[in-house]
Amino acid sequence: VSTPPRAGRSVGIDLGGTSVKLGALDLEGAPIDSLSFPTELDRGPADLARRMAEAARALGVEGSLGLAAPGLLERGRGVVTASPNLAPIEGFPLRDELARLLGFDPRRVRFENDANAAAVGEHCAGAARGEHSFAMATLGTGVGGGILLEDRLVIGEGGLAGELGHVVIDPRGPRCGCGGRGCLEQYASASAAARRAREAGLEPDPVRLTALARGGAGPERDLLSAIGRDLGRGLAPLVTLIDLRCFVIGGGFGAAFELLLPGLVEGLLERTFGRRPGDFRLYPATLGGDAGWIGAARLGRQTLSVI
């Protein structure tokens, strides 16, 4: 049995608050290998960087490396500046430490927000393959977002593009963690679904709520449809502003896709004009928890042509 060639393997790392997922892409960009380990932030940022470097080496990292993390990042310095789930590593020079441990030029380590990386993953290997422009909304604890235009990730001048979760649906709505009111993530995240279900006297666990809604018509199905409508309202500005037609819905609560879909179309049509239902291409994400590392690895590869 021959060992597959490892030269040029790109590795992507998706750093989450509870687990670190990483994997390798072959020279053609196809996912070939992956692994995960618990984040264990209490062991400190230097120890985390060491374990990440070890795992990347085990995957045969050679060509390039991409690192995705949740929260606000400073790409230039390779630092997580604010992240509720990764508070112990805020300010730590994670990218440079990782590069040092692996003997890489830090410029070969691409540092990106996890939702952006997930959108890139779905674009190169998942639901949005073949699409040139689309937005992905990740429905989890919050609502993450990533936008690709003409095959390029949109980062924006300050690096904050694609924060779909904080598009305001209703300025008199519930308070949001960002300090605003009525943001999309207060309506369509998994946590918002649980809150809305509780308020309506329904099963608050999003997985069980979705299962009940799948069982037939009733208040659970109506609630998921209402959540889908709010999601559509939140995505509608992208249609109005840049005529986006394709949307991918991912994250844990994205598993309710087919139940969210009728409302999603309604919400999009309600807040745009001149569009018909058939104008939109709406897909459930297909890579699940692998989208982040696949996208990070893909973005890492792009650094090879820059340096």
Stretch that binds Zn ion, among 1-9, 80-88, 106-114, 164-172 (CB under 5 A): 164-172
* Closest distance of CB 276 from Zn ion, Å: 31
Alpha-carbon gap, residue 222 to 246, rounded angstroms: 24
Pick the closer one to Zn ion by CB: 131 or 170: 170
Total Cβ atoms within 10 A of residue 262: 16
Stretch that binds Zn ion, among 33-41, 108-116, 153-161, 172-180 (CB under 5 A): 172-180
192 lines the binding site for Zn ion (CB under 5 A): no
- Spell out the residues 6+ positions from residue 152 whose beta carbon is closer than 8 angstroms to its own: none
* Closest distance of CB 113 from Zn ion, Å: 15
230 lines the binding site for Zn ion (CB under 5 A): no
Q: Which of residues 144-163 bind Zn ion (CB under 5 A)?
A: none
Total binding residues toward Zn ion, as defined by CB under 5 A? 5
- Spell out the residues 6+ positions from residue 273 whose beta carbon is closer than 8 angstroms to its own: none
21 lines the binding site for Zn ion (CB under 5 A): no
Q: Which of 178, 207, 242, 304 binds Zn ion (CB under 5 A)?
A: 178
CA atoms in the 13 A half-sphere facing the CB of 52? 35
Alpha-carbon gap, residue 171 to 255, rounded angstroms: 28
166 lines the binding site for Zn ion (CB under 5 A): yes
Beta strands 109-113; 19-25: pairing state: unpaired
Alpha-carbon gap, residue 31 to 11, rounded angstroms: 10
> Reading across the β-sheet that carries 246-250, which strands appear in turn?
152-153, 143-149, 134-139, 246-250, 281-284
259 lines the binding site for Zn ion (CB under 5 A): no
143 lines the binding site for Zn ion (CB under 5 A): no
Q: Which of 13, 20, 176, 223 binds Zn ion (CB under 5 A)?
A: 176
Pick the closer one to Zn ion by CB: 160 or 178: 178
Tokens 């919400």 appear where?
267
- The binding site for Zn ion (CB under 5 A) comprises 166, 176, 178, 180, 183
